[in-house]
């Protein structure tokens, strides 16, 4: 009976109903501080969806998604800073004054435009991802080498943003909570509530989009790349192109997530490009279940919530827990929680706990029940 429950569609439906209910109810029941946290975690879920696309489906483990995340954040923050800097000397953001910069650097100029910013938030990370990705993919560098190179690229971007005070305020980052948008303070509770709604909608939009990408033959090609990339070439497909496209999509999603995260956390800084943060992103997907999409969302939200709870209660123990989680998931739950649910995980657990009876027949027969086995 349990199996019927597990295989029918409605557990998944139930998950969705729960998610939507939680989102709808959250603004009413949560204090602004918690609501804001949830909003941030939902923006991280958008990043996680991108990672699931490239890692879960295509097998590309990027340890550098922080680059694209931060770039999206910087784009948003630059616009907000410019939008609220008319009162400062020279009409440019305040921090420039600290370093004696009198004129706005050229690359800031286009961020006066809200339209440009809205496009830049996802397009700049996507284009950068496409370029970096293509440089690596076309040389058929793959597997761990790709991971290592993305990590190195992350370090490079961190160094760059961290060191350039005169261009983007270096290690201090750009604050957004005291800036203005639509004549309101970005950090105000009303704005934050609005951002929460918007983020929730974006998560669903991103989910629909990624799902559309992975369904159908395009998605099959991605899985084929993960399975046996060289073989795919001999069938006439060019994996480099597909990989570049999905890496760009993931970059764009990370950019959107970064922008939403920035306006809700009130700051963007090179800290978003640290090595640990980018690896954490991967583990959200691993815990939720790679290749499942819903798992990426659940993983991102659940782990970050756990992190904030644990860090409030026992600050030192989070690293232990997180480290343990990495090891546990990889060795014991390689398919993540959702994957475990969809396979025989729950039933095995119940059996082990003595709640349901062990199956008496060959499991094969039970599973293939409807299928007639023919020679």
Partner 1 sequence: MQLLFESLFNGVAIGSVLLMAALGLAIVFGLMGVINLAHGELIMLGAYTTYVVQLIFKLPAFEPVYNLYVLVAIPLAFVVSGVVGILLERTVIRRLYGNPLETLLATWGVSLILQQFVRSVPLATAAGLVLALVVGFSLPLVLPASLLEGPRARLVRAGCWATSALSGVLLAGGLASQISRIARATSRNVDVTAPRWMRGGLEWADLTLPVPRLVIIVMTIVSVLGVTLFLNRSVWGTRIRAVTQNRSMSDCLGIPTDTVDVLTFGIGSGLAGIAGVAVSLLGSVGPNVGGSYIVGCFMVVVLGGVGNLFGAVLASFAIGWLTDLIGAGRLLTLWPAMPPPLAATVQFFATTSMAQVMVFALIVLFLQFRPAGLFPQKGRMVEV
Partner 2 sequence: MSAPLLELREITVSFDGFLALRDLNLSLQPGELRAVIGPNGAGKTTFLDVITGKTAPTEGDVLFQGRSLVGRAEHRIARLGIGRKFQSPRVFEKLSVQENLALAVSRPKQPWPLLFGRLGGQERERVHHLMGIVNLQSRADWEAGALSHGQKQWLEIAMLVGQDPDLLLVDEPVAGLTDEETDLTADLLKSLAGDHTVLVIEHDMEFIRRLESPVTVLHQGHVLCEGTMDQVQADPRVIEVYLGTSEEEQS
Nearer to partner 1 among residue 149 and residue 174 (C-beta): 149
The owner of tokens 């990889």 is 330
Asked if 139 touches partner 2 (CB under 8 A), the answer is no
Among 14, 135, 205, 309, binds partner 1 (CB under 8 A): 135
Among 81, 151, 240, 269, binds partner 1 (CB under 8 A): 151
Helix locations, 266-335, DSSP H: 275-288, 294-313, 317-332
- What is the nearest approach in angstroms of partner 1 to the Cβ of residue 174? 19
Residues 344-363 that bind partner 2 (CB under 8 A): none
| Cβ 62 vs Cβ 250: under 8 Å | yes
Asked if 240 touches partner 1 (CB under 8 A), the answer is no
Strand ranges (DSSP E) for 151-251? Answer: 174-175, 180-181, 184-185
Q: Can you read off the two tokens belonging to residue 247?
A: 């890496």
- What is the nearest approach in angstroms of partner 2 to the Cβ of residue 137? 13
| Cβ 13 vs Cβ 216: under 8 Å | no
Asked if 103 touches partner 1 (CB under 8 A), the answer is no
Residues 240-299 that bind partner 2 (CB under 8 A): 241-242, 245
Residues sharing a CB contact under 8 Å with residue 217, sequence separation 6 or more, in sequence order: none
Residues 307-326 that bind partner 1 (CB under 8 A): 316, 319-320, 322-326
- What is the nearest approach in angstroms of partner 1 to the Cβ of residue 105? 13
Query: Burial, 353: exposed, middle or buried (Cβ in 10 Å; 0-12, 13-18, 19+)?
Result: exposed
Nearer to partner 2 among residue 312 and residue 372 (C-beta): 372
Angle subtended at Cα 72 by Cα 154 and Cα 70, rounded to the nearest 5 degrees: 30
* Helices 144-163 + 275-288 axis angle, to 10: 140
Question: Which of partner 2, partner 1, none does residue 248 bind to, with CB < 5 to 8 Å depending on kind?
Answer: none
Helix (H) or strand (E) holding 225: helix 216-234
Other beta carbons within 10 Å of 279: 19
Specify the long-range contacts of residues 25-32, CB closer than 8 Å, at least 24 apart: 26/196, 27/193, 27/196, 27/197, 32/189, 32/192, 32/193
Rounded-to-integer distance, Cα 336 and Cα 322, Å: 15
Residue span binding partner 2 (CB under 8 A) among the ranges 8-16, 105-113, 162-170, 210-218: 210-218
Nearer to partner 1 among residue 140 and residue 358 (C-beta): 140
Residue span binding partner 1 (CB under 8 A) among the ranges 36-44, 98-106, 118-126, 141-149: 141-149
Rounded-to-integer distance, Cα 155 and Cα 242, Å: 26
Among 223, 267, 275, 306, binds partner 2 (CB under 8 A): 223
Nearer to partner 2 among residue 233 and residue 358 (C-beta): 233
Residues 260-279 that bind partner 1 (CB under 8 A): 275-276, 279
Asked if 53 touches partner 1 (CB under 8 A), the answer is no
Residues sharing a CB contact under 8 Å with residue 288, sequence separation 6 or more, in sequence order: 48, 294, 295, 296, 297, 298, 299, 300, 302, 336, 337, 338
Nearer to partner 2 among residue 39 and residue 239 (C-beta): 239
Asked if 366 touches partner 2 (CB under 8 A), the answer is no
Residues within the interface to partner 1 (CB under 8 A):
61, 135-136, 139-141, 143-145, 147-149, 151-153, 155-156, 159-160, 162-163, 230, 275-276, 279, 282-283, 286, 316, 319-320, 322-327, 329-331, 334
């Amino acid at each position: 009976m349990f199996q019927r429950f597990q295989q029918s569609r409605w557990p998944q439906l139930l998950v969705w109903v729960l998610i939507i209910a939680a989102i709808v109810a959250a603004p009413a029941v949560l204090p602004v501080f918690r609501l804001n946290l949830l909003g941030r975690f939902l923006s991280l879920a958008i990043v996680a969806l991108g990672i699931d696309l490239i890692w879960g489906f295509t097998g590309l483990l990027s340890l550098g998604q922080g680059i694209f995340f931060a770039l999206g954040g910087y784009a948003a923050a630059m616009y907000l800073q410019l939008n609220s800097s008319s009162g400062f000397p020279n009409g440019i953001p305040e921090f420039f004054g600290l370093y004696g910069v009198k004129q706005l650097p050229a690359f800031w100029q286009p961020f006066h435009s809200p339209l440009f910013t809205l496009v830049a938030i996802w397009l700049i990370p996507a284009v950068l991802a496409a370029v970096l990705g293509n440089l690596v993919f076309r040389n058929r560098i793959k597997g761990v080498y790709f991971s290592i190179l993305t990590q190195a690229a992350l370090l490079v971007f961190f160094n760059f943003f961290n060191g350039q005070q005169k261009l983007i305020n270096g290690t201090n980052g750009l604050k957004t909570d005291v800036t203005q948008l639509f004549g309101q303070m970005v950090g105000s509770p009303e704005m934050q509530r609005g951002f929460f709604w918007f983020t929730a909608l974006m998560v669903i939009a991103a989910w629909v989009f990624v799902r559309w990408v992975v369904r159908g033959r395009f998605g099959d090609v991605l899985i084929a790349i993960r399975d046996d990339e060289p073989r795919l070439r001999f069938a006439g497909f060019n994996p480099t192109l597909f990989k570049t496209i999905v890496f760009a999509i993931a970059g764009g999603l990370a950019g959107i997530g970064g922008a939403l995260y920035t306006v809700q956390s009130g700051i963007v800084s090179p800290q978003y490009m640290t090595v640990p943060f980018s690896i954490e992103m991967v583990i959200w997907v691993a815990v939720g279940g790679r290749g499942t999409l819903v798992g990426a969302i659940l993983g991102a939200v659940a782990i970050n919530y756990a992190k904030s709870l644990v860090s409030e209660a026992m600050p030192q123990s989070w690293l232990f827990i997180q480290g343990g989680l990495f090891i546990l998931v990889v060795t014991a739950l390689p398919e993540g929680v959702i994957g475990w649910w969809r396979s025989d995980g729950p039933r095995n657990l119940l059996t082990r706990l003595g709640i349901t009876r062990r199956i008496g027949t060959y499991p094969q027969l039970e599973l293939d029940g409807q299928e007639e086995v023919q020679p």
